[in-house]
Amino acid sequence: MLVKTLLIGLVALVGYSEYFLTGASMIFRPIALAPLVGIVLGNIPEAIKVGAAMELAYIGVVEVGISTPQDMVSASVLGTTFALSTGKGISAALTFGLPLSMLVLIVQNVMYIFVAPLYVNKMDEYAKKAEDRKLSLMAFWGGTAVNFLPSVLFIMLAYYFGTGFSKQIISVIPQFVQDGLVVASGLLPAFGFALLIQQMLRKDIVPYMILGFALTAYLKIPIIGIAIFGLVIVMILYYNEKKLKQQMDLIGKGATDDDESF
């Protein structure tokens, strides 16, 4: 159990490397983290399935600018561990993942507000003295320790103390609530897609959404097929615009030639 807890902590650390080492590589998404949890707990195929279901439920969670709507790492790691330990799948992943990740978000905000200014002040000091080596060390190690280690510890504690209780907790929750959460996992992608549509929405590209919908709803074309159709449309648009531009240039040229000949 102790070894597993350490390994779960390692997986969480890999998840937070999204910020401190792998440069927004999407390693913190459930689709990527759940399989790693699966390796630790020895059930990879099931973990991948839970990861896919969570990815859909959280698909609309995007870190735009400074707003972090949800801590994806704890939601993914704890969601997967409890889904596997209770055998309840996505229902358990949401039951435990949602509230616990909200607690982690609070922990992070406390660190950002009260502790982060300490290393920023140090960095200011080093910048003034041109001590670039110390500044780098403070940025990387100070930042990582303050911003991410507390969350990693929280995840390890939640795993260590939670796994034993998770079965009892879930047996207290009424069956219709558990079924309701499975229903919610089917509905949450609608919430995610709506957020995505809202972000991309311009009137002139609405037809493409309808086209994508109709192609799968009526013809059952898999997503890769849709992406190929989309690519073809984009290429056609691109070449047409290019041709149009050439013709416009030609007309423009012709017009000036006419002007000159008069």
The conformational region for residue 257 under phi > 0 = left, psi -120 to 50 = alpha, else beta, is alpha
Regarding 261 and contact with another protein (CB under 8 A), the answer is no
- Smallest separation (angstroms) from another protein to the CB of 89: 11
- Which residues, numbered 167-186, are part of the site for another protein (CB under 8 A)? 176-177, 179-184, 186
Number of residues in contact with another protein, rule: CB under 8 A? 105
Q: Which of 223, 259, 261, 262 binds another protein (CB under 8 A)?
A: 223
Point out which span in 6-14, 62-70, 153-161, 245-253 binds another protein (CB under 8 A): 62-70
Regarding 150 and contact with another protein (CB under 8 A), the answer is no
One-letter amino acid of 3: V
CB-side exposure of 153: number of CA atoms within 13 Å?
Answer: 9
- Smallest separation (angstroms) from another protein to the CB of 254: 23
- Count of other CB atoms within 10 angstroms of residue 237: 10
Eight-state DSSP code of residue 92 = H
Nearest to 72 by CA among 91, 59, 85, 86: 59
Q: Which residues neighbour 76 within 8 Å (Cβ) at sequence distance 6 or greater?
A: 15, 28, 29, 30, 33, 34, 37, 51, 54, 97
Regarding 24 and contact with another protein (CB under 8 A), the answer is yes
- Smallest separation (angstroms) from another protein to the CB of 227: 6
Nearest to 119 by CA among 92, 147, 91, 97: 147
Regarding 236 and contact with another protein (CB under 8 A), the answer is no
CB-side exposure of 44: number of CA atoms within 13 Å?
Answer: 3
Eight-state DSSP code of residue 140 = I
- Which residues, numbered 104-133, are part of the site for another protein (CB under 8 A)? 112-113, 116-117, 119-120, 123-124, 126-130, 132
Q: Between 26 and 55, how does the x/- string for binding to another protein read (CB under 8 A)? A: xx-x-xx-xx--------xxx-xx-xxx-x
In terms of CB distance, is 5 or 116 closer to another protein? 116
- Smallest separation (angstroms) from another protein to the CB of 113: 7
In terms of CB distance, is 153 or 161 closer to another protein? 153
